A = this chain, B = another copy of it.
């Protein structure tokens, strides 16, 4: 299976939308850099992301959440948090990485 990474804010660019359109059901999606904003509760895209989480495993990079002042207790239910080492593990566990810029 592919590992999908997304690094753009969902409010600014269409990268996450394209990822959600093209990622196979059951895939893993890792949100890094400005894409971590997609993991938060209370945004206008909350229902879209919650819907997507029924089809995908969604991770967010801890260092990028912290940098942006995003508390883990305000993440959407089911978002998994990994550090850089966890990012490396996700890459190793999947066959190929697709980076959505």
Question: Please, which residues of chain B bring their CB within 8 A of the CB of A14?
Answer: 11-13
Question: Please, which residues of chain B bring their CB within 8 A of the CB of A11?
Answer: 14
A: contact size bracket: under 10
A12-B11 Cα distance, complex, nearest whole Å:
11
- Say how far A17's CB is from chain B's closest CB, in angstroms: 10
A14-B14 Cα distance, complex, nearest whole Å:
8
- The proximity string for A residues 65-82 relative to B, scoring 1 for CB distances below 8 Å and 0 otherwise, is 000000000000000000
Question: Please, which residues of chain B bring their CB within 8 A of the CB of A12?
Answer: 13-14
Can you list 5 contacts pairing A with B, beta carbon distance less than 8 Å? A11-B14, A12-B13, A12-B14, A13-B13, A13-B14
